[in-house]
Amino acid sequence: MWWTTRILLCCFVGLFPYDVAAQVVVLTKSSVYPNPDTLLEGESVFYDVQLSAAPSSTAKITFLVTNTTRIIASPAEVDFTGADWDVPWRVELAAPEDGVVEPSVGTETNPVEVWYQEGGNAATLAASLDIVVQDNDYDQYLRHGAISWTRDVTFGRSVAVFHISMSYHTSLRPDVTSGDVISVPATLNFNDGSQWTNTLDVTVVEVSSEGYILTSAEVTHDFGSSSAASWEVSLSQCCRSNALHNNGGTT
Ligand SMILES: *[C@@H]1O[C@H](CO)[C@@H](O)[C@H](O)[C@H]1NC(C)=O
């Protein structure tokens, strides 16, 4: 989504009203893909930065990162003059891979302050960006997932085939290529009360250039002779606090 932060900086550069210059630091979240609201380690978010009016002397905009282990700003500083104040610079805020399994569930917020300084004046805080970073190093890390089903009624029995598609960040298995079969932990809970806990063999369908491993798997479950049963399964042990659930359905 496009959004713009405009912060009015009133830069009094002299004692007289006609000396007053007012620049606005214009930050626009760029449309570069991927450009998510929550960064996974290994991902970046991009901002285009420019001024709304010419500065009276060289203006410096600094991206000050609170925790440089988690976020790297590049370039961390951009300068504007009266000649290029309206030509945007693209600043990348990247969350580096760390290869560390973080114990906490969920996300953490990393502040990035945007400071404006013109000539010899004191720097002024122009904006505060909160960059949310999420660990991608736990084994069960799942980026997207879905389960659907088709039925396969064998004589006198109700057999459901569940089609499971899941995508992982490439840091989970950096070396896989399409056609490989990888094992991921999975617990399947069927609504006839049975549970299946094991590793699930999933086939790599594609390794996308955006850094995702797309996989698919099929699980067949025999619901027995009770043909009235609805067919439902949930897959846990995959997604931290969430579970995948199929769309249900009845025979
Ligand atoms: C920066 O982030 C790392 C990794 O999450 C953490 O271990 C460290 O304590 C953080 N440093 C500060 C100053 O917050």
Looking at the structure, tell me whether residues 126 and 154 fall in a common domain.
no
Domain region containing 203: 144-245
* Amino acid, res. 176: V
Give the closest residue (by CA) to ligand 1 atom 14.
Answer: 67
Looking at the structure, tell me whether residues 228 and 119 fall in a common domain.
no
Looking at the structure, tell me whether residues 119 and 153 fall in a common domain.
no
Q: What angle do CA 81, 85, 91 make, to 5 degrees?
A: 105
* Amino acid, res. 115: W
Position in ligand 1 atom list of the atom nearest CA 98: 4
CA–CA separation, 60 vs 119, rounded Å? 8
Pocket of ligand 1 (CB under 6 A): 67, 69-70
Question: In this predicted model, which residue has the larger pLDDT, 141 or 227?
Answer: 141
In a domain, 250, yes or no: no
Looking at the structure, tell me whether residues 22 and 119 fall in a common domain.
yes
Give the closest residue (by CA) to ligand 1 atom 3.
Answer: 69
Position in ligand 1 atom list of the atom nearest CA 100: 4
Contacts of 70 (CB under 8 A, 6+ apart): 95, 96, 108, 110, 133
The candidate with the shortest Cα–Cα distance to 39, out of 110, 99, 88, is 110
Instruction: Provide the pLDDT for residue 22.
Output: 63
Looking at the structure, tell me whether residues 149 and 129 fall in a common domain.
no
DSSP 95-156: ---------S-SEEEEEEEEEEEETTSPPEEEEEEEEEEE---STT--SEEEEEEEE---TT
**CATH number of the domain that 118 lies in?**
2.60.40.1080
Give the closest residue (by CA) to ligand 1 atom 9.
Answer: 67
DSSP letter at 230 equals B
Distance 139 CA to ligand 1 centre (A): 22
Q: Which of 101, 134, 167 is the last residue before a domain boundary?
A: 134
Distance 31 CA to ligand 1 centre (A): 29
Looking at the structure, tell me whether residues 165 and 108 fall in a common domain.
no
Tens of pLDDT, residue by residue over 144-169, are: 778 887 776 667 778 888 899 988 87
In a domain, 139, yes or no: no
Band of residue 35 on the pLDDT scale cut at 50, 70, 90: confident
CA–CA separation, 54 vs 56, rounded Å? 6
Contacts of 87 (CB under 8 A, 6+ apart): 50
Per-residue pLDDT for 190 more than 90? no
Position in ligand 1 atom list of the atom nearest CA 108: 5
* Amino acid, res. 63: F
Burial 181-209 (b: 16+ CB within 10 A, else e): ebebebebbbebeeeeeeebebebeebee
